Chain A
Amino acid sequence: MELTATTTVRRPVAEVYAFWRLLENLPTFMEHLDEVRTTDEKTSTWTASAPFDRTVVWEALVIEDVVEERIAWRSTEQADVPNEGAVSFLPAPAGAGTEVHVHLVYDVEAGKLGKAVAKYFGEEPHQQLDDDLRRLKQVLEAGEVVRSDGAPWGKQARKEFPQHPAQPMTAEERREVLGA
């Protein structure tokens, strides 16, 4: 499964590149990622939610890093769902910020979990990546992922409809959603 998406972020290329290069930042806007921990300059451990409340963990390797231009990575051999990705940063016209071009490949043919992941992505697999990039914009331009009463989860677009009604959450619901 191959996904591409593009957005423009109204921040300088250097800042957008630096934010992405610190891979720990990815879970702030990528829905399926719970955590990324870098182990050295090129290697990192990624934790993601998988279907049926499963968690998958894999090691990834940065295979290309051109400062303020491009970052590419791929999972190492042991990954349940082999995957790779690349992101390019281009100056937007008229000094309007940074174009972010993302390309992701998931090998969903490999094994049962891969098939479950393909199903999880559903008929519109690009939707999740589009929403991830919308949240990247929110984080970089507005400081954080925006929450509403109807969509208090912020990150999780697939809870789009039906949602929590557009009325304030109870204290208990708030604890559950915000974990606070």
Chain B
Amino acid sequence: MRANCWAGRDEVEVREVPDPAVLNSRDAIVRITSTAICGSDLHLLDGYVPTMQDGDVMGHEFMGEVVEVGPGVDPTRLRVGDRVVVPFPIACGACAACAAQLYSCCENSNPNAGIAEKMFGHPVAGIFGYSHLTGGFAGGQAQYARVPFADVGPLKIESELTDEQVLFLSDILPTGYMGAEMCDIQPSDVVAVWGAGPVGQFAMDSARVLGAASVIAIDKEPYRLRMAEEAGHIPVNFEEVDVRSRLLELSGGRGPDKCIDAVGMEATHGSAHIHAFDRVKQAVRSETDRPHVLRQAIMSCRSGGIVSVIGVYGGTVDKFPAGAWMNRSLTLRTGQCHVQRYMTPLLRRIERGELDPTRVITHRLPLEEAPRGYAVFKNKQEDCEKVVLTP
């Protein structure tokens, strides 16, 4: 089959690789009809997530048709011919983490738990196409994928909704939604979202759906801010204005009640010398992540507020504003999205027209053009917001 593979730092390549086969009894093989490039794929591309190997199949946002199931798959849950969206965390459904709906912390789905444990203290779930640290599972930017624990995660789509309407249930819509949900939004809340990429856009839409009084989008790309504004959110360009002053103006001088970091480890900074500091530390690997957004969100949030982190961090950060966090009674909430928890309720919201995930799609490319998709997405060319690939 054809598959988009990691070929070294800053390079992906569509190659011919073997077709997947059932390796565990609860596996399914899915023929992929739509897949997407995620912002977190760029962290892998840029080499900031360790344990990538040449030939690793990329991609953790995909959907398609079940073409084979292992002998252990519960037939009342999944059969050949079913149309499914596959959540990016692989979860067994049986461990203590899964029982607590903390699917991205599944205790059984990562065969490389030992590596994850060394980096994170405790292991994390397996993830498709997302380094060997999260299991070494082939990803979904391919014609076919093997899906373990197929009777736990995949969501059956039985309505006439198009692929584009439901594909993002695999990751970015639940991730954005969880970012807003962790904010425990109240009707009077001003919610500020750093990052107007696809996850940020969905965090903004979710904050509105959950009843926020106003939602602010912080970014530097005019086309991304325009997209947020068209969806009813208030744009703030950090290259043009001082973010803190603008946020105070927009929140009656209190600061946003809730702040969402939808950027993560590769933030860019309006202040050149601080950006250079993090860039150099990251380059010599004495700091793995550039936590500028996390710092600014903590400094901006009103006292007693909540800072919700859905942008991906991979290792250690420097100059974490522990004083502001502690002295001003801030709550920090975070997590890789527990996608399985949100898929069905969000499908219902899509069906009811409360959320329109298709609004972020700017590029539709054949799988063969995945490398071009990565390039335009990474370099923010052609006003690229979200790339959907068709195998």
Contacts and interface: CB of A to CB of B under 8 A. Distances in A.
A62 B57 CA distance: 47
Nearest to A154: B111
B108 A167 contact: no
Nearest to A152: B23
A160 B114 contact: yes
A112 B284 CA distance: 44
B330 interface: no
Contacts of B113: 131, 134
B18 A171 contact: yes
Contact of A166 (B93, B95, B136): B136
B375 interface: no
Contacts of B149: 142
B18 A169 contact: yes
Interface string B12-41: 000001111101111000000000000000
A143 B94 CA distance: 9
B96 A165 contact: no
Interface centre among B51, B108, B139 (most CB of A within 10 A): B108
B56 A141 contact: no
Contact of B108 (A127, A138, A151, A164): A138
Interface string A133-150: 010011001111011111
Nearest to B91: A142
A10 to B, nearest CB: 5
Interface centre among A143, A147, A148, A154 (most CB of B within 10 A): A148
25 contacts: A131-B113, A131-B114, A137-B108, A138-B92, A141-B94, A141-B95, A144-B25, A144-B72, A148-B112, A148-B126, A148-B136, A149-B57, A149-B138, A151-B112, A152-B23, A160-B112, A160-B114, A165-B55, A165-B57, A166-B56, A166-B57, A167-B17, A167-B55, A168-B19, A168-B57
